[in-house]
Amino acid sequence: MPTGNDPLRLIVFGRQGAGKGTQAARLAAHYGIPHISTGDMLRAAAASGSEFGLQVKAIMDEGGLVSDEVMEGVVAERLGQPDAQPGFLLDGYPRTPGQAEYLQGLLAPQGVRLAINLEVPEDVVVERITGRRVCSQCGTVYAVGRDESAATGVCAKCGGAVVQREDDTEEAVRKRLALYAQSTEPLLAWFRERDLLADVDGVGDPDDIAVELVRIIDARTGAAT
């Protein structure tokens, strides 16, 4: 059984639009551990010049998909760095039960302490994402019904055109969510079967959600002791 002195190794899951990025950043700051996303790992590996990094760079330059084998090397390299020794918050990896098995073996004997599944109903995230507007010049994000720039179509920061991205339409969003559910359900089941999953309601005030996440993590891992 892990104790409060073991590395705090966490994973966060959640649909696009569930507020995963916001909560992951808060948790990383609260516990003093790095928030490591798949994209960050791949970009860092490509820039490192290591054996796996060169492979990743070549694949990314060609627009290809990184294989499980190469991804495993990237993960092992990143999680072996000094800042990840007290713990970390992984976002975007693992994506399959096979990758979860690899990760647990890599981190043995303690393994991953807890996986958080931030639950937000599909209709809620569809509303959030389809209501998102982005400045075409500076990239500032606005929300319909909350920000004046979303209504006027003019960015308050730079005066650029505020638009809805093509992949933020309802049809595109629901397709992405269906693919996420199809690929993630077996992975969530894998962690649930091992009593390593905590489902957390992601609807409500972000501050309240953050407090609840910390409460659950502390209770399940002993992180506060």
Q: Which amino acids are annotated catalytic?
A: 20, 95, 132, 165, 176
| Domain ranges, ordered by start, for the chain | 8-33+86-121+171-221
Rg of the chain, C-alpha, whole Å: 19
d(CA 46, CA 168): 29
Bridge pairing between strands 114-119 and 162-163: unpaired
pLDDT per residue rounded down to tens, the chain (225 residues): 334 578 999 999 999 889 998 899 999 999 999 999 988 888 888 888 888 788 888 888 887 778 888 889 889 999 999 999 999 999 999 999 999 999 999 999 999 999 999 999 999 999 999 999 999 999 999 999 999 999 999 999 999 999 999 889 999 999 999 998 998 999 999 999 999 999 999 999 999 999 999 999 999 999 875
pTM over 0.95: no
**Within 13 Å, how many C-alpha atoms sit on residue 113's CB side?**
22
Architecture of domain 8-33+86-121+171-221: 3-Layer(aba) Sandwich (3.40)
Candidates 144, 133, 138; CA nearest to 160 is 138
DSSP SS3 for 76? helix
